[in-house]
Amino acid sequence: MPERVLLTGASGFVGRAVIAPLLARGVELHAVSRGSRSTPGVTWHAADLLDAREARALVRDIRPHTLLHGAWYVEHGLFWSSPENARWLEASTTLAHAFAAVGGRRFVGLGTCAEYAARDVDDDAPWPETRRIAPATPYGAAKAELHARLSGHPRLGVAWARLFHLFGEGEPPARLVPYVARTLLDGREALCDSGHAVRDYASTDFIGRALATLALGRVTGAINVASGQGRPIRETVAMVAAMIGRPDLLRLGARPDPPDDVPCMVADTTRLRRDARFPDRAELDADLAALVRHLRVTALTR
């Protein structure tokens, strides 16, 4: 009998990238959306996870073995401080307990690097999962609290995937990579800050494969899910500009750097590779090129 997996947030930026890797592993995949969806090989369910009765009915009807929980409030520019974080914390707690009550075995939650202390000793080194937890935003605090609530659950094996910086298809257009790419494709200046900060970027295709591996594995606890490769932001956006052929329109330093910007945020991915046995390496340049090709095509149809 195939593993029965329930994926929440399946139509979102990250969730959609997990579908194909899960199907490739032969699972019986159930996915949640508020509206109607149709994907070959996926059984879609319409449910509002903020409604406790609907959440309990969902897991009672499906009785999944594994729950990969990606649903959350992620409206660009608003999610960091939104009161919706508190609602999703409670809804996610309810969902996890309901899942365990119907015999669920494995819960994989999506955390964030924003759970970690922004400043700590040896800040230029990759951040391990043992780094101090000290979130500076309601979003990071809600995610950290959900992990704390579930990590000691007596019946669930809980893996907590802390994501770093992402890019990919379906990304909100105001985020860095699509903003730069779309603006340059339109022949306009892309105004950026200095870009000196170092960040760990990975494509959602890479992240989707990693999350599928976690969902069907046995490793528990916090796990950084990222490329493990640091690169100054200015190099990343310069590469996008070069791919588009408009480096002349990239304006680094046209905007001020964010106050108290963290100089370096790079994940230590030892646990992902050793304990979760995920062997893939992020091909950042190739994945950026693929995204630029996609955005170029969509620009022609706008």
Q: What are phi and psi of 103, to 5 degrees?
A: 95, 10
Read off the pTM.
0.95
Which whole number is the average pLDDT over 257-264?
Answer: 92
User: Residue 222 is inside which H or E element, if any?
Assistant: strand 221-225
Q: Are 295 and 244 in contact (CB under 8 A)?
A: no
Residue 2 has pLDDT above 90, yes or no: no
Residue 17 has pLDDT above 80, yes or no: yes
Q: What is the DSSP letter of 133?
A: B
Q: Are 76 and 50 in contact (CB under 8 A)?
A: no
The region of weakest confidence among 12-21, 77-86, 120-129 is 120-129
pLDDT of residue 37: 81
Alpha-helix residue ranges (DSSP H) falling in the chain = 16-24, 52-62, 84-101, 138-150, 176-185, 204-215, 233-244, 270-274, 284-300
Distance separating alpha carbons of residues 117 and 134, to the nearest angstrom:
4
Distance separating alpha carbons of residues 47 and 67, to the nearest angstrom:
15
The region of weakest confidence among 119-128, 172-181, 206-215, 275-284 is 119-128
SS3 163: strand
For 268-298, how does the pLDDT look when each residue is reduced to its tens digit (9 = 90+)? 999 999 999 999 999 999 999 999 999 999 8
Q: Token pair for residue 210?
A: 């990693």
For 210-226, how does the pLDDT look when each residue is reduced to its tens digit (9 = 90+)? 999 999 999 999 999 99
Q: Thinking of the domain 4-300, which architecture would CATH place it in?
A: 3-Layer(aba) Sandwich (3.40)
Residue 299 has pLDDT above 90, yes or no: no
Count the Cβ atoms, other than its own, within 10 Å of residue 39.
16
pLDDT of residue 274: 97
Distance separating alpha carbons of residues 123 and 53, to the nearest angstrom:
44
Residue 162 has pLDDT above 80, yes or no: yes
Q: Token pair for residue 227?
A: 């490329």
Residue 36 has pLDDT above 70, yes or no: no
Domain ranges of the chain: 4-300
Q: Are 216 and 159 in contact (CB under 8 A)?
A: no
Which whole number is the average pLDDT over 146-165?
Answer: 96
pLDDT of residue 300: 63
User: Residue 29 is inside which H or E element, if any?
Assistant: strand 28-33
pLDDT of residue 260: 86
Percent of the chain residues topping a pLDDT of 70: 98
Residue 302 has pLDDT above 70, yes or no: no
Distance separating alpha carbons of residues 95 and 109, to the nearest angstrom:
11
For 233-257, how does the pLDDT look when each residue is reduced to its tens digit (9 = 90+)? 999 999 999 999 999 999 999 999 9
Name the residue among 90, 107, 63, 288 with its Cα closest to residue 211.
107
Residue 108 to residues 159, 209, 217, 230: CA-CA distances in angstroms? 5, 14, 10, 25
pLDDT of residue 119: 85
pLDDT of residue 169: 94
Residue 238 to residues 173, 174, 181, 244, 298: CA-CA distances in angstroms? 18, 17, 10, 10, 21
